[in-house]
Structures are given as C-alpha cells and as structure tokens.
A and B are shown apart, each in its own frame.
Chain A
Amino acid sequence: MATRYRGIEHPLRGGWLLVPALAFLAVFFVYPLAMLITRSFTEFRETEAGVGPFGNYLWFFANDANVTILVRTFTTALIVTAVTVLVAYPYAYVMTRVSARWRMVLLAIVLLTFWTSLMVRNYAWLILFQRNGLLNALLASVGLGPVEILGTLPAVVIGMSQILLPFMLLPLYASLSSIDRGLVLAAQSLGARPSVAFLRVYLPLSAPGVAAGGLLVFVLALGFYITPAVLGSPQNSLFSQLIVTQVSDLLAWGRGGAMAVVLFLVTVAMLGLFWLISNRRELPSPLRARGGRS
C-alpha cells in the first residue's frame, strides 16, 4: 500500500507539462531569434563583404546616422521615464491618501487607459495634435499658437509618456500603498520636519516601486515603434523604425539583424543593471526590516 501511495503522491507531477509550451517557443520564438542573429554574422551587402563576421556591426557603428538614432532613442526613453515618474509619483501618492470612492475613480482612469487599444491611443494623439485640432483650438482661445507639433519629437514624447504611464503607475501604487504610514509619523514625532521625514523615510521605502516601474517603462520605450511612426516623422525616427526600414524596405537582413542584436543587448544590459541594483538593496537596514513586515 505504501508503494502505491508513493506512486500517486504527485498525480500531475512532472516536467512533461512544460513540454508543449517549450516545444512551441523553441520552434516559433527561439529558432527565429537564432536565425536572425546568425544572419547578422553571415549576410552582407557588397560594401561589408569580406570584412569578417562583424561586418554588419562595424557598418552600424561607423554610420553616424545610426549612432545618432541610437542615442536619440536612448534619450527619448530616458525623458519618457522621467516624465512618467514625475506624474505617476504624485498620482499614486494621492491614490493612497484619498477616500475609497476617489481611489476607485483614479484607478478606473488608469485601467481604462491601460486596456484601451494601443492603436486607439496613438490615433487619439494624432487627432489632438492636428493643425486645426483641439490643442491649437485651446491655444488660440488664450491667444497663442498655432503650433505645428505633429511630426516633432515632443509629440512623440508626449504620446509615449501617456501610453506608458499606467506601466509606471500600477507598480508604483502597489509599492506606495504597502508603506507603513506609522514610520513617517514616528520620524515627525521625533522632530523631523515633514520634508525630512519624506526624504529620509518615505522616499527610500518607495524606491523599489519607482525602480521597477521605471525599468519597465524604459525598456518598453526603447522598443517603441507605432507611436514614433504615427506621431513623429522620418527626420526624428527611433531605433525600431530603423530596423523595420532595413528589413522591410531594403531586405537587408544582415544589417537589420545586427541592429536587433544591438537593441537586444541594450535591453538585457538594462535588466542586468536593475538586477544588480535591486540585489544590492537587500542589504539590511533598520527601516527595510520593518518596512517588509507591513
């Protein structure tokens, strides 16, 4: 009887449950990525032929236009991350401090935006930024404008930040709502001014939430394609557009593949950096020891 029981101890045990998904990802995800990476080392345009396996990469970094776009993409992603933090932090903080009814309203606004089709949101900005659209109508009513914002980098930044704001807000709200208010109270009752109590107690406790949301927004922003395509212009295109141009328009799989690898490595480097920083934060501190309990 005992042996029989052992046999049925884990009725659904086993790694075989992983097999279908693993096989699927291997064929339709890992294999395509491997093929693309291989192409970046083996397929060359005439100009790079004979330079060696890194020809496409040498071409990429020797071409000023490419490096400019890479830097622009990085800068744009940084600005978008900063903007979302600056708006999301007060928003999430207010959410933790208002009545349940207002909290529901604020949360509903975020969720509705989050779940609305991406194309709809990009299209909404396109309408708003029209020359005879709402933005210029509002500016005209206060005696300003009109501005030609469509096709500029600020238009792309405004649209991207709004689309990515929920990705910042949701983890940040989860983080802020778990902070024990008693710690801020305690700091103030021990003589700290409110600003000091915020900077020394509340802000450090909220840092993991800011870091998690910030990383998510930054990494997603690096790969944005639709928003710069709809709201920007070819003169200020971002990295993803460059890849699509190489592959779809020029059929330069080697070059496109090399660019994809560069974008991939940058993304992985960002994730690795975050992992390093967040692991270092595990160092014991009296506040963290208590903060983790609440």
Chain B
Amino acid sequence: MSATRVRDPERNSGAVWRVLQVISGIGALWLLVPMLIVIPMSFTGSRSYRFPPESWSFRWYENIVTDDRWLSALGTSLLIAVIVAVVATTLGTAAALGLSRIRIRGAQVLNGLFLSPMILPVVIIGVAVYLVFLNFRLVNSPGGMVLAHTVLATPYVVVAVAASLRGFDTTLERAGASLGAAPLRVFLSVTLPIIRPGVLAGALFAFIASFDELVVSIFLVGPSVRTLPVQMFTSVAQESDPTVAAVSTILMVSTAIILLLVVLAQRSEPRRAP
C-alpha cells in the first residue's frame, strides 16, 4: 500500500531486469552464432567441419569459380528469381489494386485465397504442383520452376502493395481522370508513384521468396534446371563439402548489404503528401 513500494518502472534495474537481459543476450547469440560459425569454416584448409579449422585456405572460394555446377546453379537461381519478381509483382500489384477497389461480399474470401500459398505447408504445394507438372512436362524445366515460384511469391507482393494502399486517397485518381488522363496514364503518373515503396518491397520479397525456395524446387529439379539452394542441399546430403560454407558466406554478406541498402533507401525516401 505504501508509496515506497511503487518502484519507478521507467528505470531498468533489479534482478528481474538482469534475468531478462541475460535471456535476450542468449537469444541474440542463438540467432547469430550459428551463422557466424560458417564464415571461418569457409576458409578451412581441409575437407572437414572440424572447429576450429587446423589450416586455412581460399580453395573453397576457388572451387565455386572453377566447378561450374556452382556458378551455373547461381546463374539459374538469379535468372529465375528476376523473372519471378517481375511476373509476381505484376500479378500481385494488379490483384492488390483490384482487392482495394471491389466492394463485394466475397472480398474476404478472395483475400484469403491470395494469401493461402503463404500459409499452406509448402510441402503440400510442392507435391500438388509436382503431380500436375509431371503431366504438363514442366518438371526439369526452367519455365515450370518460374511458374511454381510465382505461386509462392505473389502473396508477398499482394501483402506489401495492399499495405501501401491503406489510406490511399482515390480522389487523386479521379482528379487525374477528370483532367483527361487515360486509365493507364492515371496509374503510371498518379497511383504508381504513391504506392511505389510497397511495389518495390513486394518485388524484393518476391525475388527472395524465389531465390531462397527449396522445398518445391526439390520436386522440380533435373539435369536442365538446378537452383542454388538445391545444389547446396544435395551437396550437404552427400558429402562434407566446405564449398557450401563459402557459398553461405557470400549469401550472408550479400543479404547484409541488401538489408543495409534497403534501410538507407527508406531513410532517404522523400516524404510524399498522401
């Protein structure tokens, strides 16, 4: 009851706070350490995962360049991810615009349908797509891989664009149209500049969704299409090959750089009037 019992909760102190700090520290280490381990491992001199490595070398990085399985897998993954990003961004942006404009009872159901590839266990999608693509001759084909990845990537675009459309003032579009602009012109010079951050974020998500996809890809790979995650997965399953550590290090550094660029871009993004 007494007033002295009320501690100042704005001060971080006491045993409880220490415990929380320790748990957070463990959480941070748990997130980071496994990934950081990969970096020294990529410079090991021997073909083993002994830690710490007994000798050092660049041979696994050389291996990426000289063994064309790795470079071709990287090229395939990049190409597929770029195409998927373009297709999924087009489909997803149109869908998000459409969803924001219709006022019918089924809008919620449609929304659920668009998001379901993101929520459904991906192995189910993989098996189902594999079953049908076998008949369509889309297994072991880059086109089949693009189609399957687009199914998985489109929901991310819908979510990102829908978020940027929240609070969007359609009066602006009407103003543009009343001044005589054709619908496409209205979209390009009024709507798109305003929702651009959402569209770009969606495109980035779609690219990563494809570039990182593994489960569905395992079903669809073959001699003529092999993506980087699949190459890593099969390599890990068959032998202890530190080339995977070198590839992982390159991927992590790229991720960190892209993340940094996105943060910087968001900071410099000029604030637009809604």
Partners in one complex: yes
A184 at interface, CB cutoff 8 A:
yes
Q: Give per-residue flags for B240-274: 1 if the beta carbon is below 8 A from chain A beta carbons, else 0.
A: 00001100100110011011000000000000000
Inter-chain contacts of A132 with B (CB < 8 A): 48-51
Report the minimal beta-carbon distance from B153 to chain A, rounded to whole angstroms: 11
Most chain B CB neighbours (cut-off 10 Å) among A127, A133, A184: A127
* Contact pick for B24, options A22, A32, A94, CB 8 Å: A94
Inter-chain contacts of A39 with B (CB < 8 A): 131
A109 at interface, CB cutoff 8 A:
yes
Q: With A8-B174, A120-B248 as known contacts, state yes or no: A35 contacts B233, CB within 8 Å.
A: no
* B123 and A225 within 8 A (CB): yes
B178 at interface, CB cutoff 8 A:
yes
B55 at interface, CB cutoff 8 A:
no
* B245 and A127 within 8 A (CB): yes
Inter-chain contacts of A193 with B (CB < 8 A): 5
B132 at interface, CB cutoff 8 A:
yes
* Contact pick for A124, options B34, B214, B255, CB 8 Å: B34
* A94 and B21 within 8 A (CB): yes
Q: How many Å lie between the Cα of A112 and that of B110 in the bound state?
A: 33
Report the minimal beta-carbon distance from B180 to chain A, rounded to whole angstroms: 9
25 pairs of residues in contact across A and B, judged by CB atoms under 8 Å = A10-B174, A13-B101, A14-B101, A17-B101, A22-B95, A24-B151, A25-B113, A36-B128, A109-B28, A115-B258, A116-B252, A118-B229, A124-B34, A132-B48, A132-B50, A132-B51, A162-B34, A165-B31, A181-B10, A185-B9, A194-B7, A219-B121, A226-B233, A243-B127, A244-B127
Interface residues of B, Cβ cutoff 8 Å to A: 1, 5-7, 9-10, 12, 16, 19-21, 23-24, 26-28, 30-35, 37-38, 41, 48-52, 90-92, 94-95, 97-99, 101-102, 104, 110, 113-114, 116-117, 119-133, 147-148, 150-151, 154, 158, 170, 173-174, 176-178, 181, 183, 186-187, 191, 208, 211-212, 214-215, 218-219, 229, 232-233, 236-237, 244-245, 248, 251-252, 255-256, 258-259
Interface residues of A, Cβ cutoff 8 Å to B: 5, 8-22, 24-25, 28-33, 35-36, 39, 86-88, 90-91, 93-95, 97-98, 106, 108-113, 115-121, 123-128, 130, 132-134, 137, 162, 165-166, 181, 184-185, 188-189, 191, 193-194, 219, 222-223, 225-226, 229-230, 240, 243-244, 247-248, 253, 256-257, 260, 263-264, 267, 271
